[in-house]
Amino acid sequence: MKIIAIKMKMHGTNVNIMNNDNIKKRVLNIMLLFLGALAFCYIFLLGNIVSNIVERRTFEADARTLSNEVMGLELQYLSMSNKIDLTLAKSMGFQEVKAKFAVRRTLGSIKLAKNEL
């Protein structure tokens, strides 16, 4: 036991002990830098969210005004389409035409069904 204690004592005196004062400062600086980066990201994301909300509200207001404008145009179209009748069309020069339909006849000896094109 004494021999081991003496060897440990001699070995302990030969070992150079590091100065750890600088490591604490470095760790603190790294932690503060990381905290600052997180705070910057938080502020950036929060600002982005707020600006997106404001932009969405303006788009919703624009959509409401466009919807009202479309409703007005639809009413105008309906009122104009109700005024169109046969007498107006004849006064504008349109004429009623008798419809002519195309019919398919038999091709040689092959007969086609009536409902086939």
The tally of domains found in the chain comes to 1
In a domain, 72, yes or no: yes
For residue 78, the SS3 value is: helix
The overall pTM is greater than 0.75: no
97 within some domain = no
Determine the pLDDT at residue 12: 62
Contact criterion met (CB below 8 Å) for 106 and 100:
no
**In-domain check, residue 32:** yes
Q: Tell me whether residue 21 is in a domain.
A: yes
Residue 39: inside a domain, yes or no? yes
Q: Which two three-digit tokens encode residue 103?
A: 């019919």
Structure tokens at 33: 């830098």
Give a yes or no: residue 109 inside a domain.
no
60 within some domain: yes
Predicted confidence (pLDDT) per residue in 20-57, tens digit: 668 888 999 999 999 999 999 999 999 999 999 999 99
Residue 47 lies in a domain: yes
Per the structure, the complete domain to which residue 51 belongs is given by: 2-91
- pLDDT, residue 71, reads 97
pLDDT digits 0-9 by tens, 84-111: 888 888 899 898 888 888 887 766 555 5
